């Protein structure tokens, strides 16, 4: 049985607006991601002082995994109004690139390649993402919104 899903283009717009001393430096950058056939958007309550595996990626996906070769886009938005979260992008060798996301802010990833190093070394190559993990370091539940788009 073939799919009945017609792929579409996801357009992501990043807009910056600022005026300094009467001079406007506004900028909008549009990203058109073609052939999107899978789009997942969910809101998750993250438990207190816990790390949550939000999604996994694989070359041979099973169950809830996404096909890493079809990866196009991830957005994680911290919906809390006071607390930060730590978003972790883990590669196949379990190296992790982590970003703290303050209350009300987002982090976006347009490429499936990530790299990390706990010694602070400059990364010169990256590997395919294998897991998206989010850590809630707080003493209260934090809600996050996760969007993942793939071919």
pTM: 0.92
Q: How confident is the model at residue 104 (pLDDT cuts 50, 70, 90)?
A: very high
CB under 8 Å to 105, separation ≥6 — which residues?
77, 78
pLDDT > 70 fraction of the chain, expressed in percent and rounded: 99
Is 107's pLDDT higher than 90? yes
The secondary structure of 115-150, three-state, reads: CCCCCCCCCCCCEEEEEEEEEECCCCCEEEEEEEEE
Q: pLDDT tier at 1 (50, 70, 90 boundaries)?
A: low
Where are the chain's structural domains? 37-150
Query: CATH classification of 37-150 is 2.60.120.770, yes or no?
Result: yes
Q: Is pLDDT above 70 for 10?
A: yes
- Residue located via tokens 């790390």: 51
């Amino acid at each position: 049985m073939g799919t009945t899903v017609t792929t579409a283009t996801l357009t992501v717009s990043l807009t910056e607006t600022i005026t300094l001393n009467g001079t406007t430096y506004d900028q909008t950058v549009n990203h058109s991601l073609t052939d999107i056939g899978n789009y997942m958007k969910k809101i998750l309550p993250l438990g207190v002082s816990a790390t949550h595996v939000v999604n996994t990626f694989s070359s041979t996906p099973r169950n809830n995994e996404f096909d890493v070769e079809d990866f196009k886009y991830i957005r994680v938005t911290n919906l809390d109004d006071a607390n930060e979260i730590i978003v972790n992008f883990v590669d196949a060798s379990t190296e992790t690139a982590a970003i703290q996301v303050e209350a009300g802010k987002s982090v976006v990833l347009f490429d499936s390649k990530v790299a990390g190093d706990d010694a602070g070394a400059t990364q010169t190559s990256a590997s395919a993402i294998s897991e998206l993990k989010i850590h809630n370091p707080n003493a209260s539940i934090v809600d996050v919104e996760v969007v993942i788009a793939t071919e």
